[in-house]
Structure 1
Amino acid sequence: MQKKIRRMKMRISIMATKANAELNNFAGFLAQEVSESMRQSGNGGFREAAFTQLAIEYLTDVNETGNARVCTAVHRTKSGSRLRQINGYGLWDNYETLDIFIADYNGTGIPYVLEKSSTTASINLALKYLNYMNKGDFNATEDAAEEREFQQNFISLKENLLRVRIILLTDGIVRKGMKTEKMHAGDLSVFTEIWDLERIFQIWSSQRKREAIEINIPERFAQKIRCLSIERSKKGYISYLSIVPGQLLADLYDAYGSRLLEQNVRVYLQNLGKVNKEIRRTILESPEMFLAYNNGISATATQLTVINDESSETGILKYIKGLQIVNGGQTTSSIYYARKKDRADLSQVYVQMKITLIDDDSQMEKVVARISKYANSQNKVSETDFSSNQAFHITLEELSRTTWASPVTGYQQTRWYYERVKGQYKEEINKAHTSKGKTDFKDRNPPHQVVRKEEFAKFRNAWYQAPYVVARGSQKNYLHFIEAEGKRTPTREYFKETAAIALLFNAGERLYGRKPLAMGDLRYLAVPYALAWLNYYTEGKIDLQEIWHQQVIPEELEAVLQDVLMNVNQYLQDKKPAEYALVSEWAKREICWQELKRYAPKNWGIALLSIRHLYRKDDDKTTTDEGALNAISDLSIEEWEKIEQIGKETGRLTLIQTGAISNIINNLRRQKPLTEQMVEMAAGILQIYNGGMRRR
């Protein structure tokens, strides 16, 4: 036994030594990266700013922040001591979250312990800066241009903010257990986070995966949550039952927002649904009955610590990692918004919660999907919603938020908003608490460019010659699509191609018309069949990437599509076999499509020659991509700075676009390649610039 203990201690010692060696190496690497960044900047720069830029890049890569940039602002007293300070900021999450970065950089390349007094002092400097911003008295100091820009953005977006995070970035090591507290600056909730050398190393070395939510409940929220555990199942999970105060749920949503609901099949549906209205009414009128009326919450976790309580059969929930509310997002969000908007008293609101601990990551997606399917009953959930958390849909959602379409008129770039979860688009609009905020969001994400999962499936199945599947209805069509394409990893080109098909489909519906001026009653069948026929007889050569680029359907293509629609509509009515009572029943059969393919363009007098110039050339994509990249690379840093300045002066570039230019300039200075997203943004910015902005 003693030998086993000695061997175990030796293994632990070796592992600790190895971990320390890796951390030591990373500390040296980080210092070298900062020095190299300063060298490449050309003017030396400040070490603290270079470190902040590097740390922001690491956090952006794992989606821990967004739209972030360096902004060094140090205000001093008359004696020269620091009064308030920030080193960067990020306005993101639909401008709902403001991240304020404060840096404490040593730069020796050797790990060291950052004492609590230093972390507190740094966080207080950032908090004082936030209070200064809240007061809005910016005439007292001679602020730099980048700082004034931040101040202006803060003023215009302040009403949209739900939370502020003060994030300390340091190359030191902060002792475990250092408490982070929730504070307030005016009406804003303020949370503190510390990204020290160890945490930065973890995301750098973990293939850039986002950190899971980790919560020490008694320490963070001063709550004592009792729970009852069920013995571990042979299937690799253990369940815990608990009664949770509504105040804690509201605090959790306040701190983590939609991150808590990433595995939920839908987002908060506001008070539009009957069930959500009843939840709100109960909170406001009968809070003491909430526990009796509500079905409760189902959550999952990857790690969980329960402290035994000898005086009771229950334990006390202390620590939880990877918390995700799988069923009960409506309840959680309703409680939060009741407190936020209605100033509701939650002292009598309690919710039943079941937490399932799943320690096998490979089983997480499967178990979560089944919990969603079997637990959701409050608001009706379709089969399509249960697949919302598949990697395929998550990737499409990410692509839709970072892929910008060229402006059709004016200068506003827009996005094709992929609604992965039911109600997501409306929820994002409602998060903007002002009319201007709602309008700005809809300008960037127009309602006619919202694509639901079912529509995405309809567009692709129609174009890729399965119109008979589309005719079988939304759910069957979707399940067919997921079976065929759900295992692939969507690319940006795939997403753009589908948006172009959406433009064609929408044009088809518009050309077919609505009653009383419609071609007939079969629009829902004629449009998918017409698109399938068009793609079949053009041999898949229509250049979808060019349609994406232009964001409009050329007139000659519209004319051909209209002719196709008229003939397909006639075909569906005239050629239906007698054994089918309804056209819709015949359209669901593959034979309907096979018969339609026998009608060539010459049978209908359709001249496809008129659109041959719209066909894709085999090397078009490569040429276009290389051309765009060359145009971007040919611009000097000075030229990008000029574009940024003109964009700000004329108001023709958005906050996101000017932020993108700053990141492009930073990469060019450091001779780092531009990311795909940067190239995408740069191409759109250049189109606006060359389209008239520079002549103003």
Structure 2
Amino acid sequence: MNINEYKEAVLGDIRVEADVNISDPTSEFIKYATGLLETAEEFEDFIETYFEATGNRNRKMQIDGFTYDEADESCILAITDFTNSDDLIPINNGEIEKLYGRLETYVIHALNGFIRTRCEESSEGYGFARTIEERIDRITKFKFYILTDKVLSNRVKTIKTNPIEGKDVEVNVWDLTRFYNLVKSKMQKEAIEINICDYMDHGLPSILAVDCKEEKYKSYLTAVPGNVLADLYIEYGSRLLEGNVRSFLSIRGKVNKQIRSTILNKPEMFFAYNNGIAATATAVEYEIGENGLVITKLKDLQIINGGQTTASIANAVIQDKKDVSNIMVPMKLSIVDTEKAEEIIPVISRCANSQNKVDEADFFSNHPYHIRMEQYSRKIFAPAVDGNQYQTIWFYERARGQHTQEQIKLTLAERKKYLLKNPKNQVIKKVDLAKYMNTYDGHPDIVSKGAQYSMREFASRIDKEWNKSDAFFNEYYYKKTVSVGIIFKETEKLVSNLGWYKEIKAYRANIVTYSLAIIFNYIRNNTPTMTFDFKRIWNNQKIYKELEEQLEILTKEVFDFITRKDKLTMNVTEWCKKELCWTRAKAEKWTITSSFLRTLIPKEEEKTEIKEETKNRKIENEINVEMEVYKLGAKYWGNILTWGMKRNIISPMEQSILKIAANMELSGKFPSVKQCLTLLKVKDKVHDEGYSA
């Protein structure tokens, strides 16, 4: 796929999405572009909105969306230049400066009070302007994103930016070529390439501690001057932090009091008091001179443990104007081959964080829950609807960008065939699933806090439920989850096309999650013998008339509720994040129609189906366990028995079960399901002790 074919494919998808969602192509392009950038970890929890106004001296201001990076306190705003043209059109310096000027004017007018006093209060653009005004002392920098389907002209020079209220402004132009390269690179975020000599003379003195050629892995030990670490964090922000660390840092609050006290009061003792940081990179350049090995360049540097240390040192520079050059921070730097980075870095991250209060939910990407949902999504076909003669699947993305990646090497004809089976509007990302199920479980306040926070809370809950009984996550659960997703997506479309919403175009995300949470909460608490008919949604792959009518009424009531004057914060988005908002919502009297209530089904029907599918799942689990033991073979279990007995690490009971497995081919006796589970636990134990087959 070349760039012309890429543009044709992207525009085709955008135009289809606009038709399906009854929206406009520009809005769909914004969703597409920001979705790619969220996947590539450029930013998180982007909020699409359209805000345009005329400010002082007739200066135009505009934003198409925003987000706030809690990890590095940077303020991110985006503006779009979308042509919807089939041709490759260049974008020049003058056009970029014009778009930049509109973003800059928005920020200036947010800070001088113009938006607060002269613009419409109901818009999300107004709410974010208030946030900028309130947080200006904490904001470290402004990041402006210009998103376009044009191609950056070779004549484009660096955009000159002026600080706003003393805060630096960084401009990122994402044109069609840059998006194309991102997609081709397997959806990895753009690598950070750092010349260490730009930050300190001669480079970073280091010791090569490990050189494992078989695993293509090296590890260096070094100490980084505090000012170098601070400068890197100030320049690259949360892009420097590995995803799990960024999530952990933003939730826990970034400045640790003890670390801060050492920085301010005993900087010379920092090396002694602090455990330092662990980092990874995919490539390293070094020189060897009189003073030994010196690292000069690093590619794709990621801090996987020590984000709080890094942020605290940077904070001392930004907020306290502290000289941190006399602080030395211990660092273990692991160099991992690019091909193995996605496999190895999460493992290093998990191990590096094992001493901190970062639970397994922080590393939820590889949880068996995800694997099972992915497996179901590839084998369970949704019913054919709307006269189609083919069935489709709901494509669950366990890994980032899977759906897009699987199309890269396809011809146009193959891609069309692929999209018939795996339509783009039936992709479910991990964060989407968390949003759907947090809404269903009655946590719209958590959903309103953003995708990453919502994902973390969901992961923690799922991990506990999985450990109780993984059989609960069966085929019925999968279909129910997809059905909740269908309801969520259909409600988004419904709200977008209601007359009252078209006038304000704000807070759709909050309206949808609160409206649906209220419905499900009402059913749980007021109809003890009845429940929602998810099977009807799955069979029809859409919502039905009575539910649609109910949502038309309730979504307007929810909008009136969240914007009411008795809210505790001026910013509606912030109000929706508060537990008190949800507490009040549960106590509110809502209009629930009798026609909708008549569509509920007896709870016993659902219980019967859950019981049956749970039973089927347990049988499947047992078969899978037995198959794994059988595939490993009698010789494998005999070797483990010998190895474990020599080291005295297996119990007499485990020895007896291993003997059954080691002799199963000769005796014809196969271990029971319970014994197979024990064998797999023994397998894990001996591998942890150093056994290798």
- TM-score, reference length from structure 2: 0.53
Question: Per-residue deviation at 1:332?
Answer: 2.0
2:299 to 320, 331, 355: 320
From 619, 623, 646, the counterpart of 2:536: 623
Counterpart of 1:154, as a letter, is A
Query: Does structure 1 residue 69 correspond to structure 2 residue 48?
Result: yes
- The Cα shift of 1:237 comes to 1.5
Determine which of 237, 260, 263 is the counterpart of 1:280. Answer: 260
For residue 279 of structure 1, give the secondary structure of its aligned residue in structure 2: helix
* 1:354 aligned to which of 316, 323, 332: 332
- Structure 2 CA distance, aligned partners of 1:220 and 1:67? 35
8 Å CA contact 2:281, 2:298 repeated in 1 = no
Contact residue 647 and residue 658 of structure 1 kept, 8 A: no
2:88 aligned with 1:111: yes
Mapping of 1:144-223 within 5 angstroms? 149-156=124-131, 158-159=133-134, 162=139, 164-174=142-152, 184-186=163-165, 190-203=169-182, 209=187, 211-218=188-195
Q: 1:272 to 1:627 in 2, by over 3 A?
A: closer
The structural deviation recorded for 1:260 is 0.9
Structure 2 Cα separation of the partners of residues 219 and 174 of structure 1: 29
Residue-pair matches, total: 483
What is the CA-CA distance between 1:114 and the residue it aligns to?
3.8
1:90 aligned to 2:4? no
Question: What is the rounded CA distance, in whole Å, between the counterparts of 1:182 and 1:490 in structure 2?
Answer: 52
| Aligned residues of 1:221 and 1:248 also touching (Cα < 8 A) | no
Deviations 1:353-399 (A, max 9, x none): 232221254564446425653x568x556995896663458877774
- Residue type of the alignment partner of 1:244: V
**Alpha carbons of 1:40 and 1:651: their partners in 2 closer, same or farther (altered >3 Å)?**
farther
* Aligned equivalents of 2:562, 2:519: Cα separation in 1: 27
Matching of residue 244 in structure 1 with residue 224 in structure 2: yes
Deviates more, 1:547-556 or 1:188-197: 547-556
Three-state SS of the structure 1 residue aligned to 2:304 is strand
2:615 maps to: none
- Distance change in 2, residues 1:380/1:41 (3 Å): closer
Give the C-alpha shift of residue 267 in structure 1: 3.0
Identity of matched residues, %: 19
CA drift at 1:123: 2.5
SS in 1 for 2:543: helix
Distance in 1 (CA, whole Å) between partners of 2:546 and 2:179 is 31
Distance 1:60 1:294, change over 3 A: closer
Q: Are 2:327 and 1:413 equivalent residues in the alignment? A: no
Residue in 2 that maps onto 1:133: 110
Q: Distance in 2 between matches of 1:38 and 1:386?
A: 35
Aligned counterparts of 2:362 and 2:251: Cα–Cα separation in 1? 20
Give the superposition deviation at 1:495: 12
Q: In structure 2, what is the Cα distance between the partners aligned to 1:42 and 1:309?
A: 62
Shift of 1:334: 3.2
Letter of the 1:260 counterpart: L
Cα drift, residue 222 of structure 1: 5.4
CA deviations 1:107-147 (Å, max 9, x no partner) are 54333554456534532442232122111123897x5787x
User: 1:549 — aligned with what?
Assistant: 520
Q: How does 1:440-479 map to 2 (within 5 A)?
A: 453=460, 457-462=463-468, 464=469
Q: What residue is the counterpart of 1:334 in the other structure?
A: 312
| 8 Å CA contact retained: 1:28, 1:109 | yes
> Which position in structure 1 is the counterpart of 2:423?
none
Alignment of 1:484-495 (within 5 A): none
The aligned counterpart of 2:405 is: none
What is the correspondence of 1:368-447 to structure 2 with a 5 Å cutoff?
A: 368-370=346-348, 372-373=350-351, 375=352, 390-392=366-368, 399-400=433-434, 403-405=437-439, 413-415=444-446
Helix, strand or coil: the match of 1:629?
coil
Which residue identity does 2:278 align to in structure 1?
Answer: S
| Paired amino acid for 1:25 | E
CA contact (8 A) 1:55 1:169 kept: yes
Instruction: Name the structure 2 match of 1:102.
Output: 79
TM-superposed CA distance for 1:166, in Å, is 0.8
Conserved? CA contact 1:180–1:191, under 8 Å = no
**Whole-Å Cα distance in 2 between the matches of residues 642 and 417 of structure 1?**
18
TM-fit CA distance, 1:226: 2.8
Deviation of 1:105 after TM superposition, in Å, equals: 4.3
Distance 1:108 1:549, change over 3 A: closer
Distance 1:52 1:382 in 2: 34
Return the offset for 1:281: 2.2
**Pairing partner for 1:297 from 277, 285, 298:** 277
1:357 partner SS: strand
Structure 2 CA distance, aligned partners of 1:48 and 1:220?
A: 43
Residues 458 and 58 of structure 1, relative CA distance in 2, 3 Å threshold: closer
Amino acid paired to 1:413: P
Change (3 A) 1:59 1:634: farther
Structure 1 segment 14-29 matched on structure 2, within 5 A:
22-29=2-9
> Would the alpha carbon gap of residues 461 and 364 (structure 1) be closer, same or farther in structure 2, given more than 3 Å must change?
closer
**Distance in 2, Cα, partners of 1:60 & 1:688:** 38
1:196 to partner: Cα distance: 1.2
**Whole-angstrom distance in 1 between the partners of 2:230 and 2:475:** 37
Pair 1:203–1:628, CA change in 2 (3 A) = same
The residue identity in structure 2 corresponding to 1:86 is: Q
Distance in 1 separating the partners of 2:524 and 2:16: 48
SS at match of 2:241: helix
* Counterpart-to-counterpart distance in 1, 2:340 and 2:477: 21
Deviation per CA, 1:185-217: give whole Å up to 9, x if none: 33656433221112222455677x4x4253243
Q: Which residue type is aligned with residue 215 of structure 2?
A: K
Question: What do you get for the CA RMSD once the two structures are aligned?
Answer: 6.0
Alignment gaps of 5+ in structure 1:
1-18, 429-443, 465-480, 498-544, 557-610, 661-680
Distance 1:156 1:381, change over 3 A: closer
Deviation at 1:169, TM superposition (A): 1.0
The residue type paired with residue 61 of structure 2 is Q
Distance (whole Å) between structure 1 residues aligned to residue 274 and residue 548 of structure 2: 61
Q: Evaluate the alpha carbon distance shift between residue 309 and residue 636 of structure 1 in structure 2; reply closer, same or farther with a 3 A threshold.
A: farther
Contact 1:403–1:415 under 8 Å retained in 2? no
Q: Determine the C-alpha separation between the residues in 1 that align with 2:359 and 2:198.
A: 37
1:131-170 Cα offsets, whole Å, 9 max, x none, are: 22111123897x5787x54123421565457454210112
- The 3 A distance-change label for structure 1 pair 281 and 61 is closer
CA distance in structure 2 between the aligned counterparts of 1:309 and 1:182, rounded to whole angstroms: 39
Q: 1: distance between equivalents of 2:481 and 2:565?
A: 32
**TM-score w.r.t. length of structure 1:** 0.52
* Inter-CA distance 180–268: structure 2 relative to 1 (3 Å threshold): farther
The whole-number CA distance in structure 2 between the counterparts of 1:657 and 1:330 is 25
* Cα separation, 1, equivalents of 2:116 and 2:251: 40
